[in-house]
């Protein structure tokens, strides 16, 4: 029965997005993104992964109210950092896999900037940085700002998550008072992917999470929430879908075209989510991709032979 509901929900999503008039109104609210010119290594041979389509989903930090003490409060107008980055590969058979990219991973394009900062120079810069660093070519780009992320989840009636321990982070305005399966609203979901210094209630005591573990948790939550939203959309009714699409559309940026058939297959797929393995550098936040990173991406079905033409 659950499978039938998901198929019906996926079909409704496509119908809603392609409805005459509504689609045009939504498209006018979405920011278009130009895709960078990317190629493959001269030594690369065709692989089964070449037939898949790779989406990059980005949670941008624009549209979020900040205090004057917030180090990111001085971000220039019209620019944003990447709070969350998730790559999703949709295969021709309809299976999908997702890998969450740490926002503190350094770009190996010569800039040595964290991936989060690449977005300040635009989506094309971020996609080129991913190509240079982990060898993945992005075919479709989707980003949503903080306010739109909150609105979309609230329009869906929240998203279901499993929480191991009660968690709090005053700076991120995060407070989840109980462990277990529960539905959280958009504000709480946003706090989860932005929390840098969470504390967990374990054996009656609040214990801080290390910088490294906190970074891993953010990446994992980004992928988990993406899958939760995808599932909620596939099971939603038409009225909910209309509210969700409209409430988030002015916060969306899209590149690579609009492909209803792909969205339908993606919403029906059983998504496998993993975290990209990386190496931490020193005592700071910076981390580097290595051979294990590309190995994990290959196992997840991604082609890692992307090169930026020079």
Predicted local distance difference test score (pLDDT) of residue 57: 92
DSSP assignment, residue 121? G
Highest mean pLDDT among 190-194, 268-272, 302-306: 302-306
Predicted local distance difference test score (pLDDT) of residue 77: 54
C-alpha–C-alpha distance, residues 106 and 253, integer Å: 24
Contact indicator for 105, 133 with CB cutoff of 8 Å? yes
pLDDT confidence bin for 266, thresholds 50/70/90: confident
Does residue 189 have a pLDDT over 80?
yes
Does residue 20 have a pLDDT over 90?
no
What is the average pLDDT across 180-206?
92
Predicted local distance difference test score (pLDDT) of residue 4: 41
DSSP assignment, residue 302? -
Q: What are phi and psi of 91, to 5 degrees?
A: -85, 165
Highest mean pLDDT among 6-20, 23-37, 47-61, 188-202: 188-202
Predicted local distance difference test score (pLDDT) of residue 27: 76
Distances, alpha carbon 278 to alpha carbons 136, 160, 253, 291, in Å? 15, 28, 28, 9
More confident residue, 3 or 81: 81
Residue the block writes with tokens 């709090």: 168
- Give 53-109 as a DSSP string: EEEEEEEE-TT----TT-GGGGPPTT---EEEEEEEEE-TTS-EEEEEEPTTBBPTT
Predicted local distance difference test score (pLDDT) of residue 33: 93
DSSP assignment, residue 48? G
Minimal CA–CA distance to 181: which of 200, 201, 164, 162? 162
Q: Which of 40-44, 168-172, 196-200, 203-207 has the lowest mean pLDDT?
A: 40-44
Minimal CA–CA distance to 300: which of 278, 263, 271? 271
pLDDT confidence bin for 179, thresholds 50/70/90: very high
Q: What share of the chain is helix, strand, coil (3-state, %, to 5)?
A: 40, 25, 35
C-alpha–C-alpha distance, residues 219 and 267, integer Å: 21
Tokens representing 50?
A: 């070449």
Predicted local distance difference test score (pLDDT) of residue 7: 43
Q: Which of 30-34, 128-132, 258-262 has the lowest mean pLDDT?
A: 258-262
pLDDT confidence bin for 107, thresholds 50/70/90: very high
Does residue 255 have a pLDDT over 90?
yes
pLDDT confidence bin for 128, thresholds 50/70/90: very high
More confident residue, 30 or 45: 30
pLDDT confidence bin for 70, thresholds 50/70/90: very low
Predicted local distance difference test score (pLDDT) of residue 9: 44
Q: Is 78 exposed, middle or buried (0-12, 13-18, 19+ CB in 10 A)?
A: exposed
C-alpha–C-alpha distance, residues 141 and 306, integer Å: 16
Q: Which of 38-42, 163-167, 255-259, 271-275 has the lowest mean pLDDT?
A: 38-42
Residue the block writes with tokens 């964290």: 114
Does residue 130 have a pLDDT over 90?
yes
Does residue 50 have a pLDDT over 60?
no
Share of the chain above pLDDT 90, in %: 40
Which three-class secondary structure state does DSSP give residue 250?
coil
Does residue 67 have a pLDDT over 70?
no
C-alpha–C-alpha distance, residues 230 and 224, integer Å: 10
């Amino acid at each position: 029965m659950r499978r039938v509901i998901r198929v019906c929900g996926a079909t409704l999503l496509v119908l809603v997005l392609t409805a005459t008039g509504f689609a045009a109104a939504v498209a006018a609210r979405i920011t278009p993104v130009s895709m960078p010119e990317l190629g493959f290594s001269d030594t690369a041979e065709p692989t089964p992964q070449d037939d898949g389509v790779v989406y990059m989903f980005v949670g941008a930090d624009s549209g979020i109210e900040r205090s004057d003490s917030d180090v990111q409060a001085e971000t220039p107008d019209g620019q944003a950092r990447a709070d969350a980055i998730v790559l999703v590969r949709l295969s021709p058979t309809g299976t999908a896999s997702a890998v969450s990219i740490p926002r503190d991973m350094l770009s190996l394009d010569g800039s040595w900037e964290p991936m989060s900062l690449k977005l300040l120079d635009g989506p094309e810069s971020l996609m080129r940085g991913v190509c240079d660093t982990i060898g993945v070519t992005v075919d479709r780009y989707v980003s949503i700002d903080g306010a739109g992320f909150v609105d979309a989840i609230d329009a869906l009636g929240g998203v279901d998550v499993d929480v191991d321990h009660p968690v709090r982070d005053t700076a991120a305005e995060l407070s989840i008072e109980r462990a277990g399966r529960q539905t959280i609203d958009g504000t709480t979901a946003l706090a989860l992917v932005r929390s840098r210094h969470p504390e967990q209630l374990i054996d009656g005591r609040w214990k801080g999470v290390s910088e490294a573990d906190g970074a891993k948790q953010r990446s994992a939550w980004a992928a988990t929430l993406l899958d939760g939203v995808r599932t909620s959309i596939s099971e939603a009714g038409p009225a909910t879908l209309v509210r969700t699409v409209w409430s988030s559309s002015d916060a969306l940026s899209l590149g690579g075209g609009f492909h209803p058939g792909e969205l339908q297959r993606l919403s029906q797929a059983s998504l496998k989510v993993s975290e990209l393995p990386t190496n931490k550098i020193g005592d700071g936040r910076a981390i580097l991709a290595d051979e294990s990173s590309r190995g994990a991406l290959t196992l997840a079905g991604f082609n890692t032979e992307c090169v930026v033409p020079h």
